[in-house]
């Protein structure tokens, strides 16, 4: 069983070592080269797990898309084919074709148009924070918009102003402390993670998705991947002077943060599925990924601090300039999820002087 692509396409990708064969990710089990094989795409966009220490990880009951169905699950690495006998790192990311600025922006615009045109908007909503990534998706898709956060949070204010500029209705999902306390154990069960950062990031996604599902939608469009692909992080813009990055160029830093996507996407996908929706990430379509990989440093970050330069230029076809150039906060900060989870931890006696006090609080809720 394969999710995300036809088995015949995946077999061709295995045979040809084609890392970006035209999907939004895939994973599962199929017969390849005469053997049962577990496969997971190069960016790990579809989570896949196997039982730790299984004699044959491809056997029925030894692998799953949902880690909670296994006794001791471990992730199948992104870009790998796994059989009973070996783990084969079959796919790596290509370098991409470099081009001048005008050609690069046109290519990004074309890739985004193709990716969003392929989205079926039936029973689909859009996670909308008001930043360029989600606004671009909102402008391209005829689907209801949802923003979540605590009252007065940056994301709610930004989403309201962006929705007004796009002349779109917006559903606001306001969190309470009780919502966080209720959601944290369910996020931990769905994702298998209890560390503070993962839970803080997953909380807004989970609570948005839960409301979307309650309103009758099956799928949630998200902007995941845009920051990694297009140079959205300060640490990428500051390469090689940022201690969080080993690369000595912006383009090298882009590749470095792209390599973190499989672990991030596993968390996000499992959290969203745990809330009752299937995520849709058009900006992680193979065509968008391949185009982004061809961008040079100054097309990712222009000047000292204009991040996601090519993406913003491409988005200007569909967005007002103010939104196309708008920066946004990380979701855990823009929604106040991190701040309020910290507040709850301290209220329950987990003080900041304690090592990793928020993680300890999360674990106390399980």
Q: Which residues contact 122 (CB under 8 A, 6 or more apart)?
A: none
User: Alpha helices, DSSP H only, in the chain?
Assistant: 7-16, 101-117, 132-140, 154-165, 177-191, 196-214, 226-230, 234-237, 250-258, 261-274, 286-293, 297-300, 309-315, 321-324, 331-334, 337-347, 357-364
CA distance 310 to 312: 5
Q: How confident is the model at residue 235 (pLDDT cuts 50, 70, 90)?
A: very high
Query: What strands, in cross-sheet order, belong to the sheet with 278-280?
Result: 170-174, 145-149, 124-127, 219-221, 278-280
Higher pLDDT, 353 or 122: 122
Q: Domain 101-338: state its class.
A: alpha beta
Residue 95 has pLDDT above 90, yes or no: no
Helices (H) and strands (E) in the chain, counts: 17, 15
pLDDT in tens, 140-179: 999 999 999 999 999 999 999 999 999 999 999 999 999 9
> In this structure, what are the phi and psi dihedrals at residue 68, rounded to the nearest 5 degrees?
-70, -10
Predicted local confidence at residue 326, as pLDDT: 87
- Please tell me what DSSP assigns to residue 283: G
pLDDT in tens, 202-228: 999 999 999 999 999 999 999 999 999
The pTM of the full predicted model, rounded to 2 decimals, is 0.94
**For the chain, what are the domain ranges?**
2-89, 101-338
Residue listed under structure tokens 């928020």: 358
């Amino acid at each position: 069983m394969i999710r995300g692509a036809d088995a015949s396409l995946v077999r061709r990708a295995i045979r040809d070592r084609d890392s970006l064969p035209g999907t939004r990710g895939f994973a599962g089990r199929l017969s390849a080269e005469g053997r049962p094989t577990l496969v997971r795409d190069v960016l790990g966009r579809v989570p896949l797990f196997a039982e730790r220490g299984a004699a044959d990880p491809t056997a029925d009951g030894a692998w799953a898309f949902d880690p909670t169905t296994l006794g001791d699950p471990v992730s199948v690495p992104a870009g790998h084919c796994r059989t009973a006998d070996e783990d084969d790192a079959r796919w790596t990311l290509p370098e991409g074709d470099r081009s001048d600025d005008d050609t690069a922006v046109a290519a990004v615009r074309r890739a985004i148009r193709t990716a969003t045109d392929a989205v079926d908007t039936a029973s689909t909503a859009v996670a909308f924070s008001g930043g360029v990534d989600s606004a671009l998706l909102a402008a391209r898709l005829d689907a209801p918009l949802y923003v979540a956060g605590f009252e007065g949070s940056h994301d709610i204010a930004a989403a309201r102003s962006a929705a007004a500029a796009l002349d779109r209705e917006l559903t606001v999902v306001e969190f309470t402390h009780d919502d966080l306390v209720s959601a944290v154990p369910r996020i931990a069960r769905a994702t298998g993670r209890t560390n503070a950062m993962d839970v803080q990031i997953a909380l807004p996604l989970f609570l948005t998705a839960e409301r979307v599902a309650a309103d009758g939608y099956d799928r949630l469009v998200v902007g995941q991947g845009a920051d990694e692909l297009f140079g959205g992080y300060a640490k990428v813009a500051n390469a090689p002077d940022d201690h969080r990055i080993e690369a000595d160029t912006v383009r090298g830093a882009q590749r470095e943060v792209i390599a973190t996507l499989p672990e991030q996407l596993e968390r996000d996908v499992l959290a969203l599925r745990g809330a009752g929706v299937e995520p849709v990430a058009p900006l992680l379509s193979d065509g968008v990924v391949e185009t982004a990989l061809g961008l040079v440093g100054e097309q990712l970050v222009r000047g000292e601090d204009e991040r996601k330069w090519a993406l913003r230029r491409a988005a200007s076809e569909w967005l007002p300039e103010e939104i196309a150039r708008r920066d946004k906060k990380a979701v855990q900060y823009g929604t106040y999820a991190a701040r309020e989870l910290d507040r709850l931890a301290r209220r329950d006696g987990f003080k900041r002087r304690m090592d990793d006090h928020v993680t300890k609080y999360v674990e106390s809720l399980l």
